[in-house]
Each structure stands twice: as C-alpha cells, then as structure tokens.
Amino acid sequence: MSTNNVWTHKGTFLLAAVGSAVGLGNLWRFPYLAGENGGGAFLLVYALTIFAVGIPILIAETMLGRNSRRSPIMGMRFLTRTHRTSRAWESIGWLGAASAFIILSFYSVIAGWAIHYTGQMIAGTLSAADAEGVAASFDALLASPALLTLYHSLFIGSSALVVGLGVHRGIENGLRILMPALFAILMVVLAYAATIGDLAAAADFLFTFDIASLSLEGWLAAMGQSFFTLSLGMGAIMAYGAYMSGAASLTTTAFTIAFIDTAVALIAGLAIFALVFGAGLDPSEGPGLMFVTLPLAFAEMPGGTLLGAIFFLLVLGAALSSAISLIEPVAAYLVERFDLNRPQAVSAMVIASWALGLLTVFSFNRWALDSPFHALFGRSAFGLLELATNIAMPLGGLLISLFAGWALTHGEVMKEMRTGETWFRVWRLLVHFVAPAAVAFVFLRSLPQVQGYGIPAIGALVIVGTFAAGRSFLAERNAS
C-alpha cells in the first residue's frame, strides 16, 4: 500500500528536511566538537565531507523515498521488488527505523535539559552564579532521575503531539511557524553575541585553518558530525522524501539543505564562541559547552538571562523539529503495515522510545558508574546507545549509497534526477566510489579490532570491498 500523502507545496520538503537537519547537532554538537578539535581545521574537513559525502547521500536517500513513495521499511521492500534486487537491501529500511527509534530515546533526554535551562534563565536562578555554581547546577540536574524523566516526557510528548496530528496538520503547519521563528531567534542571538561578546576572536578561532593541528580523531569526528547533522542514514530523509513533489529538483534541494544547515552551525558557532571568548572561558569544554560554559557566559553579561532564555528556546525548537523527523519513519511504517491510525502508530513508537530513554536517564545518575551494561559491555547504557547509532548511521549511509549507486540503473536515476549530464556523472562517481569508500573507511577505522592496522591497509580493504559489493550486485541483477 502506498501513501497518498504529498507535501502541500513544492518547497515543503525543503522546509521539513531543514527542520530535521537543524537541531542539537548544529547548536550543541558542532560548536563543542569544533572547540575540542581546534576550530578552523575541523570546519574545513566538516565542510569537505558535507559536500563530497553528505550531499551525494542526501540526494540518494531522498531519491529512494520519492521513488518508492512509502515509509523507509515498506519503501525498500518495494524498491527491491520493482528493481529485482536482493532482499538483503531491505535492511536499509530496518536499520534506519531501528536507529531512529534509538536516537529519539536519548535525543529527547538531552533536549529535555534545554527545557530545564529555559526555565532557569526565565527564573534568573543562575544570574549571579559563578563557575562552580553553574557546574553544580548542571550536576544536580543530572543527578535527579525524576527531573530528567519529567523533561524527557515533556519533550517527547510534545514531539508526538505534532506528528500525531498528521503530515499536513501537524508536521507542515508546525514547521511553518517554527522554522522562521528559529531563524529570527538565531539572528537575535548572533546580534547580541556580536555586541556583548568577542566576535573577532570567535571568527579567528573558526576560520583560521591550520590543517596540521587536526588529529585523525578530528577527521573522524568531522565526518561523523556531517552525517548526524544532515540526518542521514536513518530513514528520516527517506520518509520525508516519500512526500516530496515530483516537480522539485533533488540536486537543488540537497544543496540548499546542506547550505542552510552549515550556515546555521556556523552562525551558532560564531555566536557561542563570541560569548565564550567574551567571558574569558575555555572553548574546549566538550559536551558541557552549551549547558555549563554558555550559562556561565550568560550569567556574567548584562541582560544575559533574557538572551539565555531566548537561546534555550531556540535549542528546544530546533530539537523538536528534528525529533518529529525521527518519529515519522516508524509511525508511517506502522500505519502502512498494520493499518493503525496515526495517533495509535505515533503512541506505539513514542511510548517504546520513551521507555528506552529511561536507560539514558539512569546513565547519568544511578547507573552512571555501575550497571548491568557496564558489567556486560564496559560502558553505560547511554554510551552503548550512542555507540550503536555511531555505527548504524555510517552503515545506513554506506548501504544507501551502494544501493543508489550500483543498484539503480543509469536510466532510472537520470529520470529521477533530471539534471545535466556533467553533474549527473559527478554525482554517480561520488555515490559509486567516493562516498562508500569514505564512509567505510571511517567505519572500519573506528572499530577497536582494526585500530591497530595502518590506514593504507584499511583503505585498500575499503576500495576492494566497494568494488566487490558493486560487482556482486550487478551480477545478481543481470541474472534475474
């Protein structure tokens, strides 16, 4: 059964995909990763991977969604049948749905912290706090399972409400209000940060490219971040692509998404580092950058609590528009497959993901240092869920680029892309070789078992593997 949903306007896919892409990844993760990995050099690699790997996969994933006009799981089933390929490719849909489910569970807990900080800023609780006070307040939040669960429930419940209302009434209408508001708030934050903070130091930090200062880990982090930030490999883009107008251009849309997403990360980075440098704080604080360093900067500046409240509202809105894109692929599947109505499908997905989120909640307190997960896997439940997605995301991206690059024929893809021959060739080259090789490289390099081997050995393995996968695929196709 195919879905009859198509976005109301030709441009709505763009709005929805930008909503999915812009989130905690831009406002929280990008600045702290750039801060930890030396600023400009990280940015350079990040931008390179966005354009050489991210955009080609983004086009491929959207294409699979639009071509099938189904949820990722049913869509991949449909595509393997109509294109007479191995059913093993259906794993793309299942992998995407499973990772969307897992990511939502912890994304919601972390987004919940922003609810707490919005409240703190409005109440002015932190306005006179010093460094220890702000850090102690963050620790107190993490130590309370009740508070974390409350915020987690509020956040996931609000996201569920939007998706439960339906593709048009909920998602489209919600995003139409939310996204312009977010960009307006971002501009206000940047203007404030430029006036109060040290924008020159921030620009210097982000735009001075000293590539030698970037460690191999920095390269890997930059590549992982470009996947996370573009919402790739998780079915979110595929699910939204299923509703995309046939008249919209895949290429222009993908470039626009990547451009806006990168611009938001840069503006957020500039604003955050301007505030951090202006207050004489450390840019390499890590994940606490947004929840510890930034509130401290807000506490020290005139009018800081107002700016702080606006800032955390921005974070919340951005996280919400991303969370709904994590619910949609699974909810759409449950509707298609089991004939549930939307509220039922969304409730089933969200309640299960909420329950899984409790593991993340406890990972910051009761189970922080010792838990069954530590005993079995040597890390907290949250660490384990994060690791699972860090593997599933590149793996999903790798499979998508292999499937789109090798499985679909030249003619089919040409028809869907409707683009000039030159760009088409470049894109084919990118999804055939560059993207799979780059992703597989990062993937293998991050496995503990292969870390001892040299980069050339892994690189060679990756290239041979890509060719082998492609060839066996073609053989299968010709035989059928």
Query: Could you say which residues in the range 387-416 bind ligand PFF, by CB under 6 A?
Result: none
Cα angle: 312, vertex 241, 7; to 5 degrees: 80
Interacting stretch for ligand PFF, rule CB under 6 A, among 15-23, 151-159, 281-289, 309-317? 15-23
Residue nearest to ligand PFF (CB): 25
Interacting stretch for ligand PFF, rule CB under 6 A, among 22-30, 50-58, 211-219, 333-341? 22-30
Shortest distance, position 354 Cβ to ligand PFF, whole Å? 17
- 231 lies in the site for ligand PFF, by CB under 6 A: yes
Comparing CB distances to ligand PFF, the nearer of 56 and 233 is: 233
Shortest distance, position 231 Cβ to ligand PFF, whole Å? 4
Query: How far is the C-alpha of 420 from the C-alpha of 329, rounded, in Å?
Result: 31
Shortest distance, position 453 Cβ to ligand PFF, whole Å? 30
Q: Binder to ligand PFF among 18, 21, 281, 381 (CB under 6 A)?
A: 21
Residue 325: exposed, middle, or buried by beta-carbon count in 10 A (0-12, 13-18, 19+)?
buried
Interacting stretch for ligand PFF, rule CB under 6 A, among 58-66, 206-214, 229-237, 363-371? 229-237
Interacting stretch for ligand PFF, rule CB under 6 A, among 230-238, 363-371, 435-443, 444-452? 230-238
Q: Binder to ligand PFF among 57, 134, 234, 349 (CB under 6 A)?
A: 234
Q: Which of 343, 102, 333 is nearest to 238 (CA)?
A: 333
Comparing CB distances to ligand PFF, the nearer of 235 and 295 is: 235
Shortest distance, position 103 Cβ to ligand PFF, whole Å? 6
Shortest distance, position 390 Cβ to ligand PFF, whole Å? 12
Comparing CB distances to ligand PFF, the nearer of 129 and 346 is: 346
- 32 lies in the site for ligand PFF, by CB under 6 A: no
Query: Could you say which residues in the range 91-110 bind ligand PFF, by CB under 6 A?
Result: 100, 103
Q: Binder to ligand PFF among 26, 68, 105, 466 (CB under 6 A)?
A: 26
Beta-carbon contacts of 259 under 8 Å, excluding residues fewer than 6 positions away, are: none
Instruction: Classify 281 in phi/psi space as left (phi over 0), alpha (psi -120 to 50) or beta.
Output: beta
Q: Binder to ligand PFF among 7, 17, 19, 25 (CB under 6 A)?
A: 25
Interacting stretch for ligand PFF, rule CB under 6 A, among 20-28, 34-42, 61-69, 352-360? 20-28
- 322 lies in the site for ligand PFF, by CB under 6 A: yes
Shortest distance, position 261 Cβ to ligand PFF, whole Å? 8
From residue 324 to residue 363, the character string flagging contacts with ligand PFF as x (rule: CB under 6 A) and all else as - is: -xx-------------------------------------
Q: How many residues bind ligand PFF (CB under 6 A)?
A: 16
Comparing CB distances to ligand PFF, the nearer of 122 and 263 is: 263
- 118 lies in the site for ligand PFF, by CB under 6 A: no
Comparing CB distances to ligand PFF, the nearer of 102 and 134 is: 102
- 80 lies in the site for ligand PFF, by CB under 6 A: no
Q: Binder to ligand PFF among 89, 228, 367, 443 (CB under 6 A)?
A: 228
Q: Binder to ligand PFF among 67, 80, 229, 305 (CB under 6 A)?
A: 229
Interaxial angle between packed helices 216-229 and 435-446, expressed in degrees from 0 to 180 and rounded to the nearest 10: 120
Interacting stretch for ligand PFF, rule CB under 6 A, among 77-85, 242-250, 321-329, 425-433? 321-329
Tokens of 193: 């940060």
Q: Which of 312, 319, 365 is nearest to 126 (CA)?
A: 312
- 62 lies in the site for ligand PFF, by CB under 6 A: no
Shortest distance, position 397 Cβ to ligand PFF, whole Å? 11
What's the chain look like in SS3?
A: CCCCCCCCCCCHHHHHHHHHHCCHHHHHHHHHHHHHCCCHHHHHHHHHHHHHHHHHHHHHHHHHHHHHCCCHHHHHHHHHHHCCCCHHHHHHHHHHHHHHHHHHHHHHHHHHHHHHHHHHHHHCCCCCCCHHHHHHHHHHHHHCHHHHHHHHHHHHHHHHHHHHCCHHHHHHHHHHHHHHHHHHHHHHHHHHHHHHCCHHHHHHHHHCCCHHHCCHHHHHHHHHHHHHHCCCCCCHHHHHHCCCCCCCCHHHHHHHHHHHHHHHHHHHHHHHHHHHHHCCCCCCCHHHHCCCHHHHHHHHCCCHHHHHHHHHHHHHHHHHHHHHHHHHHHHHHHHHHHCCCHHHHHHHHHHHHHHHHHHHHHHCCCCCCCCHHHHHHCCCHHHHHHHHHHHHHHHHHHHHHHHHHHHCCHHHHHHHHCCCHHHHHHHHHHHHHHHHHHHHHHHHHHCHHHCCCCHHHHHHHHHHHHHHHHHHHHHHHHHC
Residues that bind ligand PFF (CB under 6 A): 20-21, 23-26, 100, 103, 228-229, 231, 234, 236, 322, 325-326
